[in-house]
Amino acid sequence: MLEMKIKIEVPDLAAAISKLADAIAVDPTILTPDMPRPSAAPAAPVVPQAAPVSPVPTTMPGPAPAAPAAPVAPTPVPVVNPTPAPAAVPTPAPVTPQAPTPAPETAASHSNPAPAVPTATPPAYTLDQIARAGAALVDMGKMDALLALLGKYGIAAVTQLQPTQYGTFATELRALGAQI
């Protein structure tokens, strides 16, 4: 004879059983009439104990065979034609191109002008950026072109430029080959 001992450890078994009992107590309709009703007193904690295990029988009893059912007449199934007749396919009418007709002008179309397209504001240059671009032109050997540009503005050095002139001066420096 073979003897087996199985030990099952469930750390929170007592708490789980208490929660189950509380859930059943909340809805007593889920209990069947032959089941005992839970008492209001807290149950003592259940301590699992190992029980002797009997040998497993080689043949397990199965469910009782069901009584043969009365024969049922088959339900007629409607027959559907698997290949439907081809439907008539409409042919598209030839399309002749037409010139677009101008929309009639109304007083409302003249009173609502098209919205203005926003334009990008020119970048704001600093005196330091302009001075560096001028120094780069001198390094490239374009000192004469830079002096001619300064003379065009009536100044002897870039420090004499007005802040409102920075943008146009930078554009002309770029035309001379400066990176600004």
Residues of the chain under the 70 pLDDT cut = 27-113
Torsions phi, psi for 78 (to 5 deg) = -65, 140
Kindly report each contact of residues 100-103 with a partner whose C-beta sits within 8 Å and lies 24 or more positions away, as own/partner: none
pTM of the prediction? 0.35
State residue 117's pLDDT score. 76
Q: Which of 167, 169, 168 is nearest to 157 (CA)?
A: 169
Contact yes or no for 43/52 (Cβ under 8 A): no
The Cα–Cα gap between 71 and 74 comes to: 9
Note the pLDDT tens digit of each residue in 49-78: 655 555 555 555 555 555 555 566 666 666
